[in-house]
A and B are shown apart, each in its own frame.
Chain A
Amino acid sequence: MDVIVCIKRVPEVAEVDLQVDSTGKGLQKKDLVFSINDWDNYAVEEAVRIKEKFGGTVTVITIGPKESEDVLRRALALGVDEAVRVTDPATEGSDGYVLAKILAAVIKDIPYDLILTGVQADDDGYAQVGTTLAEFLGIAHATLVTDIAIEEKRTKVRRELEGGMEEVLDVELPALFTIQSGINEPRYISIFGIRKVAKKEIKVLDLSTLGLSPNNVGEEGSMIGISRIFPPPVDKRAEILVGGPDEVAAKVTDIFEKAGVI
C-alpha cells in the first residue's frame, strides 16, 4: 500500500494578534510561528499507520519555500519514507485550484494506492485542494474522513456529517481521502527524532521539471484571488452590566425575561 500525503506549512494564529501586511492581502509574517497544518498532521500519522499495518511506502509532498522543509522533516521523523518539495517564486498567490494542479503534476510520476490530505488548511481554509486534486487525477474521493478500513483493493471509510451523524462509504482504490482531525492520536516527535532525519534527502522540484509554465500558477493561473483582508467587524452592541453580584443577577434575569427566554 503506497500512500501519498499532501501537507502544508501554516502560521499558528490561535494565540496571536494578526496584522495585515502592506499589500493588504496577507499577514505580517515577522512575529508568526509556522508549523504543520493540524489536519495534515493527522493525515501523516494515518498514512504511517497504514504503512505499518500493510507495508508499502509513504511519500509527503509540500509546495513552498525552503522553510517548508521543517514540516517535511517532521513527517520523515514520524516514519515517512520520501519527501518532495515543490518550489518556485511564481507559485506565490496560488489558489486551491492551482495548488491542486501542481500536486497533480507531481503525483503523475509517483505510484500510489491512496492519497491523503487534511480536510482543510488552518490559514485559508478553502477545503478545496483535496477533492480538486482527485478530480485532476480522475480518482474517487471522500472528505471529512474519520476512519479508514482497508480490505484488499477497497476501503470502508467513515465520514463526518453535521449534527453528530456519520456515514460509511465503500470506495475503490486508488482514492483520495481528506482527513478530519481526531481520526487518530499523532505520535510525539522528539527533537532527537527530527535530528536523525536531518540529513535525509528531500527531493526539490520546480515548475519546469513539472512541465508547468509560470502563467499557469500563482495569481495569473488562479480561478480566484484575494482582493483584501481585514479583521472581522466588531459588533458595538455589547452591554456591560455593573454592580454587585445580586444586582447583576437581577439585571440578567430582567434581560432574559424581556427577551422571552425565561
Chain B
Amino acid sequence: MGEILVLVEHRKGEMREISFEMISKGQDLAKKTQTELTTVMLGKGVVAKADEIKRFAHRTLVVEDERLTNFNSEPYQAVLTSLIKDRNPSLVLIGHTAFGMDLAPALATAVGVPLATDCYEIEVQGGDFLPYRQMFGGKMCAEIHFREAPCKMITVRSG
C-alpha cells in the first residue's frame, strides 16, 4: 500500500493549525493501513519550518521555489501533480481551507483521483478509506465510498 501524503499548509512563515490535525490523522491512518506517512511542504525558505515537523512523519519532502512563496493553486498544482504521479500514495490529505478548496478539486481531476471534500472523519475498513462529511448545512452526516482507485484524496475539515 502506498504512503499517506499530507500537504502541510503554512502562511506568512507560520504553520497552520490544520497541518497538525492532518499529520495526527495521517499518523493514525498510516498505522492502521501499515504504511508510512510523508509530509510535503511547498514554499520558499521553509526548510527550517520543515525541520520542526519532520519528527512527526517517516519523511518530509520540501519543494522550494520562488513561485511557491505564497500559495497559488497553479504552481502548486503543477508540482503536486508530478509528485503524486511519482510517489503513488494511497491517500493524499489536504486541508479544507481557502487554500485547499482552491487547489484540491482541480488537482484531483488533473491526476485522475477520486476526491471527497470537507471530511470530518476518516475510518479504515478492509484496507479502504471511508470518509465522513456533513451535508445540508450540517443537518445530516454522510458516509462516503470511493471508486476503486490506487490513490484517493480527501480534504479535511478543521477541528
Contacts and interface: CB of A to CB of B under 8 A. Distances in A.
B139 to A, nearest CB: 5
Interface stretch (A137-145, A209-217, A251-259): A137-145
A25 B110 CA distance: 28
A230 B102 contact: no
Interface in A139-184: 140-144, 159-162, 167, 169
Contacts of B141: 229-233
B116 interface: yes
Nearest to B18: A162
Interface residues of B, number: 40
Contacts of B72: 169
B8 interface: no
Given A131-B106, A160-B98, A224 B137 contact: no
B142 interface: yes
Contacts of A134: 106
Interface string B54-75: 0000000000000000101110
Interface residues of A, number: 47
B97 A162 contact: yes
Interface of B is mostly: mixed
B105 A96 contact: yes
A199 interface: no
Interface string B86-122: 0000000000111101101110111001111110000
Contacts of A128: 104-105, 115, 117
B142 A229 contact: yes
A228 interface: yes
Given A100-B105, A140-B74, A229-B142, 19 more contacts: A18-B136, A128-B115, A131-B101, A131-B106, A141-B73, A141-B106, A142-B102, A143-B101, A143-B102, A144-B98, A144-B102, A222-B147, A223-B113, A224-B115, A224-B145, A224-B147, A227-B130, A230-B140, A232-B141
